Every structure is written in structure tokens, then in C-alpha cells.
């Protein structure tokens, strides 16, 4: 059976899926047509139900839950892995940090700041809304373009994800807040960033097989961490091997093998918070693969 599969070209995804799509493990008769896209494009594809299996943001999953179920394997969750809000101006960083610490509403001058972000339906944008709900002047950019937009002055603050968290300081940019840390302190849960979902319409046996194979793919990657290096390098925005593996170490962990009780609790907490703030549609569908 052949299935369409979408994931990002980022090192954590290529690391996770390498063994699966290159048949380094027994795929039990399944083959995959792979689509590589940035996370917001994958989110939009999920809304259109284009792919049988896809990576998406947990925030976006709330808008695709009618058509997809969440696999236990392949997720990006963790502590200290959240998106960063950054700026070129250290004085601006200090001002925003002060307002966040006090919980004071932003004055008009700060509320009108132009924010570069990686997409409306990213979990990063959801977290930004929790921390700074009055920052509404947003411009969607491909995640890899946000640092340069700050340096060029076309945006005032930028919301960065993926490997950019390892490169922004080298470019003279300054952290305002780690939004993952903000989430962790307010909930005690790891931050759910992205997960792997599969179409509800597929046979249960196929859905369970994909979950099992994806787990084996992650386990193979952990057991053979250099096996995927050429595949990872071919797709990575950042070519330095050290940065690529820092990225992988940050986003691929025990929750990528299996969400477990704590991982599932974190996802449920995200949905509950978003529902309480009327940020996502209500659903009666089960979130997790049965």
C-alpha cells in the first residue's frame, strides 16, 4: 500500500523519518510518497485533507481533528524547546520583558510593533497569543527568513523556531522571551510543538501499523544517529553538523518514541487552554489514535 506523507525539511523530521522512507526498517508492505514543506504549508495541507499522513503544529491539529487522528510516535514535545521571541533592539527587548513580568497591558506604541511569525496556525503563534495577546500586527514569513527580516528592519520582533534558536545570537539579535519556558511555568507540562497525524478514514490496521513503524524509525535513528546525516544535510537550512544535531537533540526525545501519559496530558492541556480562550473550534472527536 502506498501512502502520501508530509513532513518538514528540518533536521528533527528528516532524522525521524529517514529509516521509514529509505526502508532501513521493514515497512511491512507500505511505501510512501513524500512531500517536504514548511510547517505552515503542512498545516494548510492538513486543513484540505491532502495527505494520508502528515506532520503539523499542535495548534493546527485543532482545525484538522475532524479528518485526522494523532499518532503516539513522531511528536516534538519537551522542556526548554519552545519558540523564541527576539529583536534587534536590546532596549525593546527589556521593555517587553518588563511588561511580561508585570502582566501590564502593552501601550499603543508597543502593541503596534510589527511581528514576523512562522504562520497563523503554528503552535508558536498560539503561545505568542498567550504571552502578548495585544501584539496583532503580524506578518507571516517562512521561518528561515525571520532573522534576516529583523536585521533588515522590515519587522520589529520575530518569532523563531527550529534551528534558528541556535544562530540568532551570532547575528546580534536579542531574546525577549522563550515562550516554551513561559508555557512550562504556567502549566508544568512539556510544550507540544508538532505531531504526526493520520487520516481517520484509513483502516484501523493501517493506522496502527504506521504508528508502529514510525516508532521503529525513531528507535532506529537513536540507535544509528549518523545513519541519516546525508539526508539531513541535504534538506537542512543550517549546514553545520553541530547545529543540525543540536536541533535534533532538542526536539527528538522520549516523546518522539511514544507520547506516554505525560505527553498526552500536555496535548490535552493545550487543547483545554485553547478551548477556554475560544481560540480553536470545539470538537467531539477523540484526539489520539485508538
Tens digit of pLDDT for each residue in 11-32?
Answer: 999 999 999 999 999 999 999 9
User: Is residue 281 situated within a structural domain?
Assistant: no
pLDDT band, residue 79 (cuts 50/70/90):
confident
pLDDT of residue 239: 66
pLDDT at 133 over 90: no
Instruction: Answer yes or no: do 116 and 177 share one domain.
Output: yes
**Residue 263 pLDDT exceeds 80:** yes
Beta strands in 121-279 (DSSP E): 138-140, 157-160, 174-178, 191-199
Distance CA 192, CA 269 (A): 9
Distance between CA 186 and CA 21 in Å, rounded? 38
Q: Report the length, in residues, of the chain.
A: 290
The whole-number pLDDT of residue 63 equals 94
- In terms of Cβ atoms closer than 10 Å to its own Cβ (0-12, 13-18, 19+), residue 267 is buried
Q: Binding site for substrate: which residues?
A: 55-57, 123-124
What does the pLDDT look like over 147-190, one tens digit per residue?
A: 999 999 999 999 988 667 777 888 889 999 999 888 988 899 99
Q: Mean pLDDT over residues 29-40, rounded?
A: 94
**Residue 34: per-residue pLDDT:** 97
- Nearest CA-CA partner of 159 in 181, 170, 172, 144: 144
- The average pLDDT across 75-93 equals 90
* Together in a domain, 93 and 123: yes
- What domain range includes position 237? 2-77+192-276
Q: Whose CA is closest to 110, among 125, 121, 99? A: 99
Mean pLDDT over the full length of the chain:
91
Q: How far is CA 214 from CA 18, 42, 207, in A?
A: 10, 18, 11
End-to-end C-alpha distance for the chain, whole angstroms: 21
Whole-number Cα distances in Å, 23 to 3, 110, 217: 14, 51, 9
Same domain, 96 and 116: yes
160 bridge partner residues = 84
Residue 283: its pLDDT value, please? 86
Query: Does residue 101 sit in the same domain as residue 177?
Result: yes
The reported pLDDT for the residue numbered 237 is 67
Counting the structural domains of the chain, the total is: 2
Please state, in angstroms and rounded to a whole number, the distance separating the CA atoms of residues 182 and 202.
Answer: 38
Considering the domain architecture, whether residues 160 and 209 belong to the same structural domain is answered as no
CATH code: domain of residue 243: 3.40.190.10
Specify the pTM: 0.84
Q: Does one domain contain both 236 and 267?
A: yes
Residues at the binding site are 55-57, 123-124
Q: Are residues 71 and 199 in the same domain?
A: yes
Task: Examine the fold and report which residue of 141, 166, 187 is the final residue of a domain before the chain moves on.
Answer: 187
- The answer to whether residues 23 and 65 belong to one domain is yes
- Catalytic machinery residues: 162
Q: Are residues 103 and 64 in the same domain?
A: no
Amino acid at each position: 500500500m502506498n501512502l502520501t506523507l508530509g513532513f518538514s525539511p528540518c533536521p528533527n523530521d528528516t532524522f525521524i523519518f529517514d529509516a521509514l522512507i529509505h526502508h532501513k526498517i521493514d515497512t511491512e508492505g507500505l511505501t510512501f510518497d513524500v512531500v517536504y514543506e514548511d510547517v505552515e504549508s503542512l498545516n494548510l495541507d492538513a486543513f484540505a485533507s491532502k495527505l494520508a499522513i502528515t506532520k503539523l503544529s499542535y495548534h493546527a491539529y485543532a482545525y484538522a481533528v475532524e479528518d485526522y487522528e494523532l499518532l503516539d510516535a513522531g511528536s516534538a514535545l519537551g522542556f526548554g524547546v519552545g519558540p523564541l521571541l527576539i529583536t534587534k533592539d536590546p532596549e525593546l527587548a527589556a521593555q517587553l520583558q518588563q511588561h511580561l513580568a508585570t502582566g501590564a497591558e502593552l501601550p499603543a506604541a508597543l502593541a503596534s510593533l510589527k511581528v514576523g511569525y512562522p504562520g497563523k496556525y503554528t503552535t508558536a503563534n498560539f503561545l505568542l497569543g498567550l504571552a502578548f495577546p495585544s501584539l496583532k500586527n503580524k506578518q507571516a514569513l517562512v521561518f528561515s527568513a525571520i532573522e534576516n527580516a529583523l536585521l533588515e528592519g522590515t519587522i520589529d520582533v520575530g518569532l523563531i523556531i527550529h534551528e534558528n534558536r541556535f544562530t540568532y545570537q551570532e547575528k546580534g539579535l536579542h531574546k525577549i522571551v522563550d515562550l516554551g519556558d513561559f508555557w512550562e511555568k504556567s502549566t508544568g507540562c512539556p510544550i507540544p510543538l508538532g505531531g504526526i497525524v493520520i487520516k481517520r478514514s484509513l483502516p484501523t490496521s493501517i493506522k496502527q501499523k504506521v504508528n508502529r513503524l514510525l516508532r521503529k524509525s525513531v528507535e532506529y535513528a537513536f540507535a544509528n544517529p549518523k545513519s541519516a546525516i546525508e539526508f539531513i544535510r541535504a534538506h537542512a537550512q543550517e549546514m553545520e553538523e553541530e547545529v543540525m544535531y543540536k536541533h535534533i537533540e532538542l526536539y527528538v526525545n522520549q516523546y518522539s518514541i511514544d507520547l506516554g501519559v505525560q505527553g498526552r496530558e500536555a496535548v490535552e492541556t493545550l487543547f483545554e487552554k485553547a478551548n477556554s480562550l475560544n481560540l480553536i473550534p470545539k470538537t467531539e472527536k477523540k484526539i489520539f489514535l485508538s
